[in-house]
Amino acid sequence: MALKPETVTGLGRVLVVVYAILALAATARSVYQIIAKFDEAPLAYSLSALAGVVYIVATAALVSKGEAARRVAKAAISFELVGVLGVGTLSLVVPSLFAHNSVWSYFGMGYLFIPLLLPILGLLWLSLDSRGRAGVSE
């Protein structure tokens, strides 16, 4: 899968790298937690696995060409933002739901709040990138 020209430099490259790192971290952590201790916190570990899948989809869509990939990236990143806001709020309001933290618990505090900031930056980048490409055919 070749990088789009827009993701080769600047913020696009940083976003792809951070998404790839989070995809690897969240997925690996959740696989271990689900295999080793799922019964301790099934909701948190399932949400971490979901976050890993979302990061994988977002990473793949960000490096793919075409308008369909752009729509997938926007949908995945929007879902991510809703997820981190929803889970972050629930983890504050009803902490008993989360025996252990998920990637999105407390707005991604365990990951230095990157899960909260990343979708905001991702959506901003997609918006700015689409303006810069207006009228340019792929």
pLDDT at residue 9, as a whole number: 60
Spatial CB neighbours of 5, under 8 Å, sequence gap ≥ 6: none
pLDDT tens series, the chain, 138 aa: 444 545 446 778 899 999 999 999 999 999 999 999 999 999 999 999 999 999 999 999 999 989 999 999 999 999 999 999 999 999 999 998 888 888 999 999 989 999 999 999 999 999 887 654 433 333
Spatial CB neighbours of 101, under 8 Å, sequence gap ≥ 6: 44, 91, 109, 110
Helices (H), 7-133: 10-37, 42-63, 67-93, 114-132
